[in-house]
Amino acid sequence: MNRIGIDLGGTKIEGILTDEKYATITRKRVPTNQEEGYSSILELIKSMVLELTQESDDKFSIGVCTPGALSLDSGLIKNSNTQCLIGKDLQNDLKNILHCDISIENDANCFALAESKLGSGKNSNLVFGVIMGTGVGGGITINGKIHRGRTNIAGEWGHHCLHTGGNSCYCGNKGCVETYISGPALEKNWSNLSGLNQSLPEIIQNSDNPNFDNWKKIFLDNFGLALANVIDILDPDMIILGGGLSNIDFLYDEGKDAVYEKVFSDTVDTPILKNTLGDSAGVFGACML
Ligand SMILES: [Zn+2]
């Protein structure tokens, strides 16, 4: 059976049709147009599925990858930064317009799944996948399957508490990982230290600035503590970094050292690797659901 994966992002919707072995048959991409609302997103997905399948009579499955999660109680989307999806019954609404079953999964879980099957985590048993970008998330796969946990929150690393009573988070708690090592959090910290409003790539280029070393030290301390906690609890075979921040080279040497020095073991050697699928992890993860 062929597979369709849809990556429903805040700015673009990407769709892919693959064969059983995830070889790409065709691929499409359109802007999300959030301002036109939920029904327009449903229509975009419907026309994308029709386009992807127009030259094929084969049967197919459909998986959708999106930020946020399905509430275990209601089945409705929650915690999504594509805000017009919040509180919507995306799964059933898509089922009704496409007349087939739909699987929906959180983007960090899709990332971990795709990387563990086709990317840097190929042939590994326990993979912890991390997305560090505008938000911070994590996903766990065991033997190539997503580990969701009892209430679907396994791997929600972005909202574990790094500093008691720390920065306020939109989730209502304080001190969440996301408020320290997401792109916006790091840019804010740079602005506080240097007085400059710069994007993360600009900050990385600005390493001669007298505030840079201090900014980097705080970043690495938080990165190290956040991932050392994961290793202490999960002891994964590897950690794979995704999202915009995965392009920061020092995370793979100095960042790794900052993690290792905080792990409760004298033999820590957990690989911390860059993803290999890049932006495509979402669509591939979705078609594997
Ligand atoms: Zn939070």
Could you read off the pLDDT of 228-237 as tens digits, one per residue?
Answer: 999 999 999 9
In the reported structure, the alpha carbon of residue 159 is separated from the centroid of ligand 1 by a whole-number distance in angstroms of: 4
Q: What is the mean pLDDT of residues 223-232?
A: 98
For ligand 1, the distance from its centroid to the CA atom of residue 80, given in whole angstroms, is 13
List all residues 6 or more positions away from 179 whose beta carbon is below 8 Å from its beta carbon.
166, 167, 168, 169, 185
Q: Using the mean position of ligand 1's atoms as its centre, give its distance from the Cα of residue 173 in Å.
A: 5
- Residue 254: per-residue pLDDT: 98
In terms of Cα–Cα distance, which of 37, 5, 17 is closest to 102? 5
Contact yes or no for 171/156 (Cβ under 8 A): no
Which residue, among 146, 121, 177, 165, has the nearest Cα to 69 in the 3D structure? 146
pLDDT in tens, 104-123: 999 999 999 999 999 999 98
Instruction: For residue 136, report the distance from its CA to the centre of ligand 1, in Å.
Output: 10
At 57, the amino acid letter reads D
Task: Find the length of the chain.
Answer: 289
CA–centroid distance, 198 to ligand 1, in Å, is 24
Whole-number Å distance, alpha carbon 92 to ligand 1 midpoint, is 28
Task: Using the predicted structure, report yes or no on whether residue 201 has a pLDDT greater than 90.
Answer: yes
Distance 215 CA to ligand 1 centre (A): 22
Q: Could you tell me what percent of the chain has a pLDDT over 70?
A: 100
pTM: 0.92
CA of 174 to the centre of ligand 1 (A): 7
Q: DSSP state, 281?
A: H
pLDDT surpasses 80 at 34 = no
Structure tokens at 153: 């929150």
Pairing type for strands 102-106 and 126-132 reads: unpaired
